[in-house]
Structure 1
Amino acid sequence: MLDPSEIYAVDPAVAAEVTARAALGSGPVLVHAMHGFVDAGGAGRRAAEHLTEELTTTRLATFDADQLVDYRSRRPMMTFDATTWSSYDEPVLVVDLVRDAEGAPFLLLHGAEPDVQWERFTAAVRQLVERFDVPLTVGLHGIPMGVPHTRPLSVTAHATRPELVADHPAWFGSVQVPASAASLLELRLGESGHDAMGFAVHVPHYLAQSTYPQASMIALENVERATGLDLRLRALTDAAEETIAEIERQVEGSEEVAAVVHALEEQYDAFTRSTGRTGLLANTTQLPTADELGAEFERFLAERTDDGPGL
């Protein structure tokens, strides 16, 4: 493996601030939400945007995207203005120092998921975790699920140690899915003795290709519970309410869509009644099988391949 430290640069002044704060207690939590793979409803991407828009951020580290992005696979957008190229949407992958609503620091890894050099990339992140004494790494994204938008969203929680997700019900049994840089990062951190976990929000499959702020809000609520951070979610709450209102208008305007939603509601409620609990995840023995869930997941991935992946 090539030297991991050569694919990123750290701002020394910001690094000194993080190190000084860590010396006073534990280091900062690292939250990551990279885009480019499966992120139904834009759950992770919108969550990262919320954090950088609503909270104070300072750039700590910048990865060399030119070494990590396959431009022919995911072509960045450029703007042609009449007779000239006027702008280029340069892919970035960075770590920001963020301060929550109470001033508590944490790190945010966000931007384009690497296409290549995954092992080198995960080793680089591990270097940052160890350099800044990060006690916990948390990942966010969304996955498509056959659930209606009219019922509470749930999440699949996963971690390097079962104690980290003891309060969350298990959803999947054993299922194979295509890997991502984020999932490999969690695996490698766990193998090296570092605590890491993630939250995959179950997004209604018919909203998977749309921005669904409700999914981002649920993801960040779980981050707040796991870390004690205050992530100022009011802005996402307002956006989620507006989105739900727009979805309801569209459902009311289409009998076909309304029928699909109603069928999903009946399925969801049947599971709830059969378990006597208030959530679809109450009893995994009553849920669709891993093969059924895997087939739905593979169908979603196939649709993304047909449409072409996005940055």
Structure 2
Amino acid sequence: MSFLPSGSGALVFIAFEGQDADASEAASSLAKDLVEVWQLNDSQILDTDGFYEFRFSEPEILRDEEGTASIAWPGIAVHRGRLGELPITVIHGHEPGLKWREFLSLILGQIGRDDSVVLLGGLHAEVPHTRPLPVVANTEDRTLAAEIGIDANGYEGPIGILGLLAVACRWRSLRAINLWVGVPDYLADSPSPKAELALAKAVEHYAGVEIDIHVLEEESRAWELGADELVSLNPQLAELVRALEEAIDSADLPEASGDAIAAEFERYLRKRGREK
């Protein structure tokens, strides 16, 4: 069963760039590609002054063809349009560093009461690049979990902005699901089209929409070949990958890799909380 909104509600996608929610840029890249492929042309930039500490969310200098400089400040963009008759909203930008309560109110103000929300995230985990990358799907809404066949989130501990949004959506009786893709932690510095593709396929499965990004298939194969070459040059890394492959392949249940990434996610969040 799909997760599509009823009536006039929109399907809303939310992703943030940053260390806590966007491993290998899988979530933010998908959000940007959705805006392009679905031609969501009704766009606005939210007023997010005061939510960023620029030592950690640095502005960027950009130049046009003539070399003239401009500054791109961290912030949040909202894009709206339609996929056939279905209203679509994509919210993406930098995760906030300050005033999270106010930031939550700002984001929730962009979501209607009849909307369905998909929170997109990426996590570096102990998974091999040579196997399908696992995606964890869960929700704070137990009724919705049973309805669409995903887990009800039972995690307790430190939480990031996506987790806060998930809980806030539940408090407001908004239908919301979380989709997190696991990305090999030994390729932490590499954007991963394979992870973006896995996330896109999860969106298609759970949200019941089609995403026509054919180039991701080709880019994913190229990424995997590049990773193969990198691993082949490092015997210790090659041994690590073999061990991860054996752990995945020896699991009898297809959900085993998903369980592993869910456990890794909880371990990461707890570690992050201790370090603060």
Partner residue in 2 for 1:126? 108
Matches within 5 A, 1:1-311: 25-38=7-20, 39-78=22-61, 86-100=69-83, 102=84, 104-130=86-112, 133-166=113-146, 167-168=149-150, 174-177=155-158, 179-270=159-250, 272=251, 276-281=252-257, 290=263, 294-295=266-267
Partner Cα distance (2:261, 2:209) in 1: 34
Q: Is the 8 A contact 2:232 2:238 kept in 1?
A: yes
Counterpart of 1:252, as a letter, is S
User: What is the letter of the counterpart of residue 280 of structure 1?
Assistant: A
Counterpart secondary structure, 1:149: coil
What SS is found at the alignment partner of 1:33? Answer: strand
Aligned-partner Cα distance in 2 for 1:214–1:278 = 19
1:3 maps to what in 2? Answer: none
Cα displacement string for residues 70-116 of structure 1 (whole angstroms, at most 9, x for unaligned residues): 223322123699xx98232222311101444x564310001112222
Local SS of the residue matching 1:57: coil
CA distance 1:189–1:293, shift in 2 (3 Å): closer
Q: SS in structure 1 opposite 2:50?
A: helix
How far is the alpha carbon of 1:169 from its aligned partner?
5.7
List gaps (5 residues or longer) in structure 2: none
Q: 1:136 to 1:294 in 2, by over 3 A?
A: closer
Q: Which moved more, 1:114-123 or 1:42-51?
A: 114-123
Cα root mean square deviation, aligned: 3.2
Structure with the larger helix share:
1
Q: Residue in 2 aligned with 1:10? A: none
Maintained 8 Å contact 1:40/1:207 = no
Task: Work out the CA distance in 1 between the residues paired with 2:270 and 2:190.
Answer: 18
Structure 2 length as normaliser, TM-score? 0.82
Contact 1:68 1:114 in 2 (8 A): yes
More deviation in 191-200 or 223-232? 223-232
Over 3 Å counting, the alpha-carbon distance change for 1:224 and 1:260 in structure 2 is same
Question: What is the letter of the counterpart of residue 28 of structure 1?
Answer: A
